[in-house]
Amino acid sequence: MELDELKSLLNEKMERVHREKSAGDLAILLGRKTQSVTGKLRRSLRLEIIACIIFSIGCAAGAIFGAYAWLRIYFGIFACMCFLFLPLLYILLRKTNELGGAALPVKTCPAMR
């Protein structure tokens, strides 16, 4: 098979695929709810905050109920680190929420002037 034959076969296949889409299918595709970048960031930050809380509670329990002193120190340090990062994650979430609600200016392309 030569390259020209392959190109013509691909073009025919693409035309058939595009013809098979009905107006209802296109309306469904256009009506889908999309997620913005800030929405994805918010979801990710919420999951990180929840994971950090669960991990810090687990580490605090390990620090309190640990059998050995070195184990209590190890888990205590991790619990402190997680508790220190929680406010930072909360601040990032708050700033992301503010960014998502604000109308930001759009830069114009120099070629469009």
Give the model's pLDDT for residue 79: 93
Residue 63 lies in domain:
35-101
Residue 6 counted as domain residue: yes
Q: How large a percentage of the chain has pLDDT more than 70?
A: 73
Residue 71 counted as domain residue: yes
Which string of DSSP letters, residue by residue, matches 33-58?
PP--HHHHHHHHHHHHHHHHHHHHHH
- What is the distance between the alpha carbons of residues 68 and 73, in angstroms, rounded to a whole number? 9
Residue 43 counted as domain residue: yes
* Dihedral of alpha carbons 105, 111, 112, 113, sign: positive
Shared-domain flag, residues 14 and 56 = no
Which amino acid is residue 47, in one-letter code?
A: L
| Residue 111 DSSP class | G
Give the model's pLDDT for residue 102: 63
Shared-domain flag, residues 42 and 90 = yes
Contact between residue 72 and residue 66 where contact means Cβ atoms under 8 Å apart: yes
Render pLDDT for 20-69 as a digit per residue (tens, 0 to 9).
Answer: 666 677 677 666 666 678 888 899 999 999 999 999 999 999 999 989 99
Shared-domain flag, residues 44 and 25 = no
pTM (two decimals): 0.60
Give the model's pLDDT for residue 110: 61
Q: Average pLDDT, stretch 76-90?
A: 93
- What is the distance between the alpha carbons of residues 60 and 53, in angstroms, rounded to a whole number? 10
Shared-domain flag, residues 5 and 43 = no
Question: What total of structural domains would you count in the chain?
Answer: 2
pLDDT value at 82 more than 80:
yes
Check residue 104 and give left, alpha or beta (phi > 0: left; psi -120 to 50: alpha): beta
Give the model's pLDDT for residue 107: 61
Give the model's pLDDT for residue 112: 54
